[in-house]
Amino acid sequence: SYELTQPPSVSVSPGQTASITCSGDKLGDKYAFWYHQKPGQSPVLVIYEDIKRPSGIPERFSGSNSGNTATLTISGTQAMDEADYYCQAWDSSTVVFGGGTKLTVL
Amino acid sequence: EVQLVESGGGLVQPGGSLRLSCAASGFTFSSYWMSWVRQAPGKGLEWVANIKQDGSEKYYVDSVKGRFTISRDNAKNSLYLQMNSLRAEDTAVYYCARSHWGGPSYYYMDVWGKGTTVTVSS
């Protein structure tokens, strides 16, 4: 079965750029999606089809996907961006999530 | 306002059954694939099942095949998850999510409910 691997945690200082990676076999041949989830809340879609932002998602969120790695980049990270981030792909009629990355803004 | 509201969660003994419901509003329910995604306490997201607009296609994660059944009633704008032979490892918050299917290219969830909690314990 297809697997997506994320680092368990990433730390960033306020105002700096945070990068969260998601690795999977030939992931660049698929679309990658990203969600964030704050404690006690439901997941929220922040990037779809590798690079697109849903309405209401700040421009500081961007995505890329090539080779075996998709990356979510948060420019000018704010304290409100502290959350768990999950990547997701679609493989063989199965939804696959990465294990999640806890982003700490300190 | 686009909204999904789950219900039906609760405490159930191992081997028991539960039926989750998800009421959709604010969008044309019959035009969308729908999904159930769960999250065990302190764990990550796990897709459980999804269903095509007309109910003609359904997919499940291996761990629930033969035990869970996803269904929908477009006339009632409702999604369901019938869960039988429940196990302790099914304990989780279950989210209903509006979904987008792009053939073999993509599938993703853009609107999520607040979830309903299922606890399987004796």
DSSP character string of B42-108: T--EEEEEEE-TTSS-EEE-GGGTTTEEEEEEGGGTEEEEEE-S--GGG-EEEEEEEEEE-TTS-EE
- Chain A residue set in contact with B, beta carbons under 8 Å: 1, 30-31, 33, 35, 37, 42-45, 48-49, 54, 84, 86, 88, 90, 93-100
Specify the pLDDT at position B84.
98
Q: How confident is the model at residue B27 (pLDDT cuts 50, 70, 90)?
A: very high
Longest dimension (CA), chain B: 42
pLDDT at B79 over 90: yes
The per-residue pLDDT for range A3-52, each reduced to its tens digit, is 999 999 999 999 999 999 999 999 999 999 999 999 999 999 999 999 99
DSSP letter string, A46-75:
EEBTTTB--TTS-TTEEEEEETTEEEEEES
A87-93 mean pLDDT? 95
**Spatial CB neighbours of B74, under 8 Å, sequence gap ≥ 6:** B29, B30, B53, B54
Specify the pLDDT at position B109.
98
Q: How confident is the model at residue A64 (pLDDT cuts 50, 70, 90)?
A: very high
Specify the pLDDT at position B103.
85
Specify the pLDDT at position A45.
98
Please identify which residue in the block is written with the tokens 């939804």. Answer: A95
- Residue A29's SS3 state is helix
Specify the pLDDT at position A31.
97
Phi, psi of A27 (to 5 degrees): -60, -30
State both tokens at B37.
Answer: 């995604």
The per-residue pLDDT for range B104-121, each reduced to its tens digit, is 889 999 999 999 999 999
State both tokens at B54.
Answer: 């007309």
B21-31 mean pLDDT? 98
Partner-chain contact B110 A48, CB within 8 Å: yes
Specify the pLDDT at position B105.
86
For residue A88, which residues of chain B lie inside 8 Å, CB to CB?
45, 108
Closest CA to A63 of A39, A91, A37, A85: A85
A vs B, Cβ pairs < 8 A, gives 60
Longest dimension (CA), chain A: 39
For residue B42, which residues of chain A lie inside 8 Å, CB to CB?
none
**Structural contact between residues A45 and A56, judged by C-beta atoms closer than 8 angstroms:** no
